[in-house]
Amino acid sequence: RIRWNFIAPLSPNQGGLWERAVRSAKNHLRRVIDTQILTFEEFATVLASVAACMNSRPLIALDDDPTACEALTPAHLVVGRRLIGPIQFDYTSIPDNRLTRWRLIQKIAQEFWSRWHSKYVAQQIETSKWNQKKENIEVGDIVLVNHDNLPPTHWPLARVITTFPRDDGCVRNVEVKLGSSTFKRGINKIARLPINDE
């Protein structure tokens, strides 16, 4: 019961959201590969890492269960489960000429993750002018917490357990539970995942 819709050849402007993701990947790849000459196998390895990074991003909260903190990812649609990469040594601060080829490939993948992840999370965090009213974050919402220096394919999802509204009724700070720990964050450091109400 799958209905396929194809865009016209050589018309990426008709692709919308998925073509924008391809453009984003290409832009970041150009910047991290720079002048490196990669073999076919090395480039294929980098592209596999890039695909894992992009397919691990959370799209929508899976359920309203207050004890669970799961999100649907593109990887669920491809392999049936979320992707979790191994924690690796950080090679981003080591000069390229001191790295073996395999470590250089890992460094390129880590730099791609760092650039793409920070840009993606920044786009997900709602920012608006103070004169526009927006929906408050509520207790029980699943949020993506903005952390620096995360390893590839790791997305810290937390559940909001307390909100701190100001005098005007707008929530500016929340307390979230991530794993077994709780901490306070401003709403400019979290992105709420949408919940499917249907």
Delimit the domains of the chain by residue range: 12-193
Q: Flag whether pLDDT at 123 surpasses 90.
A: no
Return d(Cα 102, Cα 91) in angstroms, integer: 11
This model's pTM is above 0.85: no
Q: Show the tokens assigned to 166.
A: 């100001």
Q: Per residue in 101-116, is it b (16+ CB within 10 Å) or e — as a string?
A: eeebbbbbbbbbbbbb
Q: Flag whether pLDDT at 43 surpasses 90.
A: yes
- Averaged over 139-166, what is the pLDDT? 87
Structure confidence at residue 196 as a pLDDT band (50, 70, 90): low
- The DSSP H or E segment spanning 101 is helix 101-124
Q: What is the mean pLDDT of the chain?
A: 85
Closest CA to 114 of 196, 186, 50: 50
Whether the CA torsion 155, 161, 162, 168 is positive or negative: it is positive
Q: Flag whether pLDDT at 128 surpasses 70.
A: no
Return d(Cα 184, Cα 196) in angstroms, integer: 26
Q: Does residue 142 sit in helix, strand or coil?
A: strand
